[in-house]
Chains A and B, each alone.
Chain A
């Protein structure tokens, strides 16, 4: 069975500092990997996705993520965070873009002024 682990429940980062959110997955075949962001009272918004090809994927809002098969990881990064990045971030894995997703428990990002 597939699973996703996000080891950090909360992360606090100063505005302007760099960010890395960790995601580890368990999946038998080639995974389809996603990062979503959820702001309070909002639905989930897709930041980026990885299906195949270049292991460094670029997303919206200046985010990027790197797929490392040897480490079963798909960490999310941003070089400089803004106060508006404060939100809940979810990593997810699926068998395909249109299949049901398995989500991690999320990482709550807090931005310090």
Chain B
């Protein structure tokens, strides 16, 4: 079974530029998550999708971050405009939502550096 795919793996941009990350979850997984992991910290949930609907985006900075999951499969996370403090690893995860005992599987992440 293929894992969670993310691209690009690395991205360097200047502040005020825009950037987008892509995630393809494990086939058949209805739930998709985006986490932000700042250096030296644990991942923080940004947004959670159930199929193509948003379940939780309470920690998403909506003035600059946006995410979509068209057709309930792959997803994109966008930052516009980027700030220095957005430098982090952006992790995508998916789960099947079959039961409360399901597990989240994480992709390798996209490391963003904002200069």
Q: Which residues of chain B have C-beta atoms less than 8 A from A97's C-beta?
A: 95, 99-104
Within 8 A of B (CB), among A55-113: 90, 92, 96-106
Query: Would A98 and B104 be within 8 Å (CB), given that A43-B4, A43-B91, A44-B91 are in contact?
Result: yes
Q: Does A27 touch B at the CB level, under 8 Å? A: no
Chain B interface residue count: which class?
Answer: 20 to 34
Within 8 A of A (CB), among B83-115: 91, 93, 95-97, 99-109
At the interface with chain A, which of B11-19, B40-48, B62-70, B73-81?
A: B40-48
Minimal beta-carbon separation of A34 from chain B (angstroms):
8
A108's nearest neighbour on chain B, judged by CB, is B40
Minimal beta-carbon separation of A33 from chain B (angstroms):
12
Q: Which residues of chain A have C-beta atoms less than 8 A from B33's C-beta?
A: 100
- Top 10 nearest A-B pairs (CB, nearest first) are A103-B42, A100-B45, A96-B100, A97-B102, A43-B106, A44-B106, A43-B108, A98-B97, A98-B95, A98-B102
Question: Which positions in B face A, CB cutoff 8 Å?
Answer: 3-4, 31, 33, 40-45, 48, 55-56, 91, 93, 95-97, 99-109
